[in-house]
Structure formats: C-alpha cells, structure tokens
Structure 1
C-alpha cells in the first residue's frame, strides 16, 4: 500500500526553509508515498530515487522534469534538448555537450580556475565581515564559467535571474513561480541572444557546442538551445553549492580544521556538501507505463517527485547521515542526479568547488559566521540569499 500524505506541501515556504523534518517523515512513510495535495507520487529514499533516475525508459524526462506534464499542457518555454528529452534525441544532444566538457577540456581549465579562486579568496581573507554570497559564491562561478563558455561580460547577471526562473518553474504555479516569470522578458531575450553563435567568443565552449552540433546535424536554432541548457544549469547550481559549502564549514569549524590541515580533502568536502546540503533538491519524472518502484506499484502517466536532497540523508544509505563529515566517502550521492541525465556540467562544478575550497585552506585560518544568513526560497534549489562571514587570514 502507498502511504497517503494529505498535509505535506514540498513547495510551501515552511517546507523550503527547513525541509529536513519533512524529509524524514517522507522517508519513514514508505519507499513511495502519495502527496494528496498535488495528486503525485514521491520518493525520498536513496535506493528508489536512484533506481528511478537510472530507468529513463520507465521514468521519462520528455514530459517535463517539473510538475507540469508537457503531454497535457504547453510548456512556458521550448523544452530543453538535454534535460527534458529522452533517448535517442537526448543521446545525440548529450554527445555534443559532453564532447565539449571532456576530461582534457577540464585539465585545460584547471590553471585558470585555480588562479581565479586563489586571487578572490586571498582578497577576501581580511577578517572583516562581508557577504560571502554576493562577493564570493556568486562572483566566482559567474566569472570563470562565463569566461569558459565565451559569454560577453556585459549583462552576465541575467544568467542568475534566468536560472532562478527556470528552477522555480519546475514547481507548481505558486507565488515563487509567478514572481519568477513576471517581467522576465528582458532576461529571456538576453539569454536567447547570447546563445547564438555570432555572440559567443570564438574558441569558447559555447562556440564549440555550435560546431559540434552542426557536425551532428543540428540546426543553428537547436544548437543555441543546447547552449541555453548549459547556461541555465551551469551557474546558479554552483553558486549555491559554493554558498552551502561556506555555510557548512562556518557552522562546523572542526571540519574546516580538517580541511585546512589537509587541502587534499577539498574534493571530498565538496561532495559531502552536495550530499548533506544539496543545491538541487528535487526533480520530477513521469512514468511511461505501469511500473513498480521498490515494490510499490505506480500507474502509467503519473508524475513522480524525486527528493534528491532527502536521498542524501537516508540512513539506509549513509551512517550518521545528519553529520557533516569532510572525510566521508560520499560517492553515490544523487546531488548531480544519476544515470543518463546526470548533470552534464558536473566535472566543471567539481573543478570550481575544489578550487575554492583549496584556496580557502591555503589562505584562511578560520571561517566565522558574522550574522544570520538569509535563506533563498526556490521551488527546486536550496541556497542562501545572503551569508555574512569573516575569513580570518592565516599562513598557508
């Protein structure tokens, strides 16, 4: 039997501000539950979430990865050729973008990303209070990611507004959704224009996507949509991944002491942040046929909400899951998704996270809270609007 939860609203301000008590309720109610308020199924346990992500034939993305069913209603924008597509169309599109984000490409970016993180952190390690969201977590990805893609400097702030809008529209048409799309015309127009080949820096990743897309037979308009998908997912998620990392390290000084003693833990520490305080909390899938998920029968054509953030703290998968531990082997978390739709830019996000955390270990003796942070509410993302911190300098 599927547990029916009539009172759980995963898109309410209260839930979004502090989802973890409700996550525990969802996990303990069963492997799959029914959220009566929206008439949808949901899973918050690691094993069924991972299983659904790993089965795109039964749990499709082409009907939308939000609550809207593209087979029944018109999407507010043309669907992504990556995020909202299934094989074989998705396979062809992902091959284009993945080819640009190869291991060799990441190696070529490492020096520039590391130098930018080192310079920024060294400048902010002055011991005075500052907003770590505005001056570090936001500034760094917006600079290095946009430079790598070849986006012009003027107007880059639109990338943040666009991504926030996209992730809010994966939820129901609540206040967050409506506020996100209200007056968004200029932002959408700017992003659409920057995705065109003639507006991207020659040799950058955006231009490379256009070249590879043309070789695969994509039209210029479809190539621009591939760049759009990359831009919409490549900035805001990393912004909040870095913000969450800074907040976790400030709240757990013992863990920062471990990182400072061994900067080689930077990659593992960033993975632990993605498990413990996932920037992307949820995604939907739609069943293509009747299917059993962890022994629970779900009908065909049903929306299923997958709680990535809750899966990251499932005690069935992780020992002491509510503890933040930079020495933990967090391999297997679903913070980047899983399967064929796993985040195509995760290698770049990992590079950025490792570069910033390594720079902190090099220049900062202590990370101290300097006031209460202000939470950002978003139908899909978990992050902070402001984060007052002090970075107390110390010798390497």
Structure 2
C-alpha cells in the first residue's frame, strides 16, 4: 500500500486457537465480536482460503479500504455472494458497483434529495408514520418490536419516497426480509430468497412502467427523468436502483433500531435513559457498538502490501466496519455500551465516495422511532427464546423480536 499507516502483520503462529471468520456462518451472525477482537489482535489481515477473500478488521485499515477507491474498487460489487460478485454487479447494484467518476455522476442525481437539510424537512412526516405504526400497538402488552415497528417504519418512509403505493408497503418489507437470508454456511440464495427477489423484480418493473406513464413527486420519477452523459436510465437500471434503495437503505436502519432495543433490554440503565430523553445517544452508540452493517467487499486494483503480506491485483478484500468500531485504539473500553461516548469517528456509514447516501435520513428515522415509542412505553422485556436473527453476510439484526411492554400511565408530550 506504499506510504500508508498499515503495519506488518503479527505472527499468528502462537495466536490462540479461534474459529475461522466466515460471514456466512450462523455462529458469526449470533455474535461476531469475539472473533473480530481475535482478528484485530492476531490476524489484522485475515485470509479465508475456502471463500477466497482477505479481511481487515482494525479501524485504521477499514477506513483506508473504504476511502481509497482507486486501490479498493467497487467494480465487482460489494457482496461476496457468487450471484452478486463480478463485472455484472452493476446490473443489480447500479452506482454501488461503480467507481469515480462514473459513480458520482449516477449517485449525484438523487444525492441532493438526501442531504441533511432536505431530510430534516421530512421530520414531521416521519413522526406521523411512526405514530401510525404505533397506533395498533398502543393497547397491546406484547408485540413483535422488530417486525411490527422497527423494520416497518424505515420501509414506510422509503417506499413513500420512491412512490410505492401504501397498500404494497408491507409486502415490499416482507420480501426484502427474505431477500438477504442465507442458509447456514451457504453463500447462495435459497428458494425463499430467490422467490422474493423475483417478486420484487416483477413489482419494480411494473412500478417503473407506471411511473413513466404517470410521473410523480418521488425519487423514482427523478431517476426516470434524469440524464447521465446525455442518456436517460433504462428500465433495468432503475430497477437496480430500486433494489439498492430497498435492500441497502431500508434494511440497515430497521435492523439497527432493533439492535438498540435489544441492548436496552440487556442493559436496564440504557433502556431507562433511552426511553426518557436520550434516544439520539442510544442510536449513535448502537451504530458504534452493534451496527446492522457488518461487512462490505472490494476488489484490489493493483499489487499492494498490507501488514507485510502482498495482495495481488484482483484479490477480494472484506472491510469490517463493525469490527473497526470496537477497536480499542480508537474507542477506549470499546466493549462497553456508553451513552456518553464520543461517536463522531464511527465508520458504520462507511467513508470516502461510497459513504452511505441515506445516513442523514437513517439517523433521523432511528431517533424518531425510539422517541415515539418512548413516549408511550416506560419499560419492556424481550422474549429472547422466541426471537429470530437475520442471517446475512452483511446485515446483523433481528427478523423477530417479541417483547412485553409497560405502558406509561400518562404518555409523554409529543417530541418537538
């Protein structure tokens, strides 16, 4: 890597024995952090021979990979799954599988719609959607926090922005949940995932055709009418964009809300503070401590040396931002959930040209979600025995998180 901050790899011969890092392994999905800690200390450049990729786990290394698009390219996509990796990745991921300057030309078409100023205008509408989702839950002592609220709210917001009719929102969310599921140890889609992908593809094709005939004030219409280098997007490119928005923007936000709720259950003091005015700090520390976004892949564009090991051009490398956020070199007492922590250096949303387009929107949605439920709920317990994790190489979180709640005798005043 030339004059970079990466140091020579430690001797792993005498490192304590630990299970291999495999992002498709259900045990990793259950708790990846002990493995990440071992990697940071003993194998900061980790090799998985079976799946043919390298992985970096330290904060500085992850940040370098994310920022240096000329050396670590998106041209083959960001997923290690065989059907999503390779030169055809652009067909399913659009600008997420592009490098600058092409990446900027496509991303810039909708980038202005996700700036903090534009997003803040949506606050009242997001609160309305949150309250609509909470309304049928207000009198229930038991409900599924993940499915009925945490995943539903960001899906509602994004579907509305894309112009998806409200009657279809729940089906979009259900199919998105299935889309990213993998069997234990498998890097290929199962039958339910394939079926969900086909349903979504058919739906998006019909949506684009409808929007071409009946344009509206939404992000999909913006993509249809925009031009890049004098040419408009094809239907297939817009469908790829819709998949990107739904799977990347929707999933991470809902899963992180669920992760915050989970850690509030494990840590009653965090739960109490989070439900009583510290929702924003609850969100930010969850993004650091247990973000839904765990891994993203890149292609090495030229021979380089990392931690004393030569990587050849074309090698696959996985960057682990969730591990970087637990690096003691940057975050003291990193394994402690601390609402008073400075989280300004977190890399949950990436760095560089591919920094998450929807980060401002996600932050707002997550804060509102926890503020609004905190206004009506004073405490809760999770029925962990009946919870269900998502099994994805990229996303960590819950598909089901049943809980019992204690409602406030008098709901708190609505947030400003």
Q: Under a length normalisation based on structure 1, what TM-score does the superposition of the two structures give?
A: 0.88
Tell me the equivalent position of 1:160: 173
Q: Does 1:59 align with 2:59?
A: no
Tell me the equivalent position of 1:194: 207
Structure 1 residue ranges without an equivalent (≥5): none
Tell me the equivalent position of 2:373: 360
- Aligned residues of 1:8 and 1:37 also touching (Cα < 8 A): no
Q: Distance in 2 between the 1:166 and 1:62 partners?
A: 22
- Aligned residues of 1:195 and 1:228 also touching (Cα < 8 A): no
Q: Distance in 1 between the 2:321 and 2:46 partners?
A: 15
Tell me the equivalent position of 2:218: 204
- Aligned residues of 1:176 and 1:378 also touching (Cα < 8 A): no
Tell me the equivalent position of 2:342: 329
Written as runs of structure 1 = structure 2, the 5 A alignment for 1:161-240 is: 163-164=176-177, 167=180, 174=187, 180-181=193-194, 184-196=197-209, 197-198=211-212, 202-213=216-227, 217-221=231-235, 222-240=237-255
Q: Distance in 1 between the 2:62 and 2:34 partners?
A: 18
Cα 1:317/1:125, change in 2 over 3 Å: farther
- Aligned residues of 2:77 and 2:86 also touching (Cα < 8 A): no
RMSD over aligned Cα, in angstroms? 3.0
Q: Choose from 389, 395, 400 the match for 1:386.
A: 400
Q: Does 1:42 align with 2:65?
A: no
- Aligned residues of 1:287 and 1:301 also touching (Cα < 8 A): yes
Structure 2 residue ranges without an equivalent (≥5): 1-7
Q: Distance in 1 between the 2:310 and 2:212 partners?
A: 50
- Aligned residues of 1:268 and 1:330 also touching (Cα < 8 A): no
Higher mean alpha-carbon deviation, 288-297 vs 345-354, is at: 288-297
Q: Choose from 130, 135, 141 the match for 2:143.
A: 130
Q: Distance in 2 between the 1:123 and 1:165 partners?
A: 25
Q: Does 1:99 align with 2:94?
A: no
Instruction: Report how many residues are paired.
Output: 393
Written as runs of structure 1 = structure 2, the 5 A alignment for 1:304-343 is: 304-343=317-356
Q: Distance in 1 between the 2:375 and 2:42 partners?
A: 45
Q: Distance in 2 between the 1:371 and 1:73 partners?
A: 39
Cα 1:71/1:77, change in 2 over 3 Å: closer
Q: Under a length normalisation based on structure 2, what TM-score does the superposition of the two structures give?
A: 0.84
1:52 Cα deviation after fit: 0.5
Tell me the equivalent position of 2:5: none
Q: Distance in 2 between the 1:343 and 1:76 partners?
A: 18
- Per the alignment, in what secondary structure is the counterpart of residue 245 of structure 2? helix
Q: Distance in 2 between the 1:72 and 1:360 partners?
A: 39
- Aligned residues of 1:6 and 1:35 also touching (Cα < 8 A): no
1:87 Cα deviation after fit: 0.9
Q: Distance in 2 between the 1:340 and 1:367 partners?
A: 40
Deviations along 1:96-125, one digit per CA (max 9) or x if unpaired, are 120222333212211111232245446534
Q: Distance in 2 between the 1:203 and 1:183 partners?
A: 27
Cα 1:71/1:376, change in 2 over 3 Å: closer
Deviations along 1:338-365, one digit per CA (max 9) or x if unpaired, are 2111111111111110111111332221
